[in-house]
Amino acid sequence: MTVDSVIERDCVIAGGGPAGMVLGYLLARRGLRVTVLEKHGDFLRDFRGDTVHPSTVTLLGELGLRHKFLELPLTRLSTLDAVVDGQRLTIVDFGTLPLPDNFLVLAPQWDFLNFLARETAAFPTFELRLRTEATHLIIDGGQVRGVRARTSDGGLEIRAPLTVAADGRSSDLRAAAGLAPDNFGVPIDVLWFNLPKPPDPPPPTLGYISAQGLVLTINRGDRYQSGMAIRKGGFDGLRAGGIDALQAKIASAAPFLRPVVGTLTDWDQVKLLSVQINRLRRWYRPGFIAIGDAAHAMSPMFGVGVNFAVQDAVALANAIAEDLAMGKAPTEKLAAVQRRREMPVKIVQQVQRNGHRVLLRATSGNRIAPRWFVMFLRAASPLLRPVTARFVGIGIRPEHVRSGST
Ligand SMILES: Cc1cc2nc3c(=O)[nH]c(=O)nc-3n(C[C@H](O)[C@H](O)[C@H](O)COP(=O)(O)OP(=O)(O)OC[C@H]3O[C@@H](n4cnc5c(N)ncnc54)[C@H](O)[C@@H]3O)c2cc1C
C-alpha cells in the first residue's frame, strides 16, 4: 500500500468502540492531539454490548456528561430478575448501591458511541476518521511509532508516541505487535435475535433458565433483544433441524414467547455469537498497548464487556496523559496499566467460566438445580442482592477520572 499522507499526533487509537471512543474523549479533553480510526462508516451494528453499568454512569458523571447521557432514549433497570425452573428470582438489586447511580442502563451501543462522538467533536484536537482501517504498525528499532491505514483516498500514515489497539476481540493490531491471547475454553455460544413482545408481557426479566435451555430477554421497548445459549459448535446442527426447531426450543425454555416465536422465519434473523474468553499475557510493548476486548474478550455473561473496555480507557488515560503531553509513552506506565486492570479482568473471567458450566447443564437437558436449591436461592436472595449489585454494577477496583484530566 502506498502512503499518500502522513500526520503526526500525540496518540493514535485503532477502533471506535467503547474503549477507543472513551480514551479519545479523555485524551482530547486534556488538549492532546488524538485520532481514532474506525473501519466502519458508522457505529450502527446490532447485537452488541448495550449495558452501561452504574460504574460507567459514575464515570460519565465525573466527566460532566451524566445528565446529557441520561437524556438519551434508554432504559433504566433497578433490578435484574431471572426465572429459574419457573421461580422468579431477583438476582441483582442495583437499588442497594449508593445514590445517584443505583441503576443499570440499557442503551443501544450505537447511541452511546454517537453520543461520545458528538461530545468529543467539541475538542479541536480530536479527530475521528471513519472508513479508515488500520492495517500495519510502524515499528522502528522495536518501538511502535504509529500505524498505516487504508482509506477511500489511499494510504495514510499516522505517527504518534503511543498507538492503542482498541480494535476488538479479533484485533489485527495486537497480532501485528506480536501479542497473542491465551484462550480459555468456553462450552457455549449464544444466538441473538429480535422478538416482538407478546401481549401482556411478564415483568422485565433478564433470562429464563431451566432444563429446556436459557433464553435471554433484554427489554427494547416493544421488542426483546433475545438470546439463546447453545452448546459450542452446535449451531450447524441446530440449523439443519430447521427454523421451526429453533422456534420450538425457544418456546419450551420461555413459554410466554410461544405467541411470537413464529416471527423468526429465516436464519438471516439469527446472529451467532461465538463466545470467547481470552486474555493477552502481555498487553503492551514500547509505544503500544491493547485495551478492551483487544486485550481480553469477555463472555456476555453479566454484560460487563463495555464497562471493562471503558475502565481500561480511564486507567490508561490516567496513567499516560501527562507523559503524552511531553511526547512520551514510558513503557513502565503501560505495564502499570496492565497490572492495574488485569486482576479485575481475571476474576470476572473466572466467574464467567464457572457460570458457563452451569449454563451448559441447562442447555443440555439436565435439571439445572434441585428444587430445594432454587428455593434456598430465593430465600437467600435478599441477602445476596447487595453483593451481586456491587460485583456486577461497580466491579472490582473501579476506575475514576483523575482530577488532572478534567
Ligand atoms: C453479540 C454481542 C453481545 C454482547 N453483549 C454484551 C452486553 O450485553 N453487555 C456488554 O457490556 N458487553 C457485551 N458484549 C461485549 C461488548 O460488545 C464488548 O466487550 C465491547 O464492545 C468491547 O469494546 P471495545 O471497544 O474493546 O471493542 P469493540 O466494541 O469490538 O470495538 C472495536 C471497534 O474497532 C473497529 N475495528 C476493528 N478493527 C479495526 C481496524 N483494523 N481499524 C479500524 N477500526 C477497527 C471495529 O469496527 C469496532 O468498531 C457483547 C458482544 C457481542 C459481540
Q: How far is the CA of 381 from the centre of ligand 1 (A)?
A: 32
Q: Is 192 left (phi over 0), alpha (psi -120 to 50) or beta?
A: beta
Residues 346-357 have a mean pLDDT of 92
CATH of domain 3-76+107-183+276-355: 3.50.50.60
Q: Where are the domains of the chain?
A: 3-76+107-183+276-355, 188-273
Q: Where are the alpha helices (DSSP H) in 15-97?
A: 18-28, 54-62, 66-70
Integer CA distances (angstroms), 313 to 15, 91, 290, 318, in order: 12, 29, 10, 9
**Per-residue pLDDT at 52:** 95
Distance (Å, rounded) from C-alpha 377 to C-alpha 214? 18
Q: Which atom of ligand 1 is nearest to the CA of 312?
A: 26
Question: pLDDT tens digit string along 260-306?
Answer: 999 999 999 999 998 999 999 999 999 999 999 999 999 988 889 99
327-357 as b/e: b if 16+ CB within 10 A: eebeeebbebbbebbbebbeebbebbbeebe
Q: How far apart are CA 380 and CA 385, in angstroms?
A: 9
State how far the Cα of 232 lies from the Cα of 235, in Å rounded to an integer: 8
Give the whole-angstrom CA distance, residue 134 versus residue 298: 23
Q: Give the pLDDT confidence of 359-376 residue by residue, as tens digits.
A: 777 656 655 555 676 677
Top mutation candidate among 167, 218, 220 for ligand 1, by most atoms within 8 Å of CB = 167
Query: What average pLDDT does range 85-99 have in this prediction?
Result: 91
pTM beyond 0.85 = yes
Render pLDDT for 254-271 as a digit per residue (tens, 0 to 9): 999 999 999 999 999 999
158 lines ligand 1 (CB under 6 A): no
Average pLDDT over residues 232-257: 93
Name the nearest CA neighbour of 62 among 303, 317, 290, 396: 317
Q: Does ligand 1 have an atom closer than 6 angstroms to the CB of 157?
A: no
Q: Does ligand 1 come within 6 angstroms of the Cβ of 10?
A: no
The answer to whether 400 and 59 have CB atoms below 8 angstroms apart is: yes
Q: 181-204: per-residue pLDDT in tens?
A: 999 988 889 999 999 999 999 998
Burial of 372 per CB tally in 10 Å (0-12, 13-18, 19+): exposed
Give the residues across from 216 on adjacent strands.
207, 227
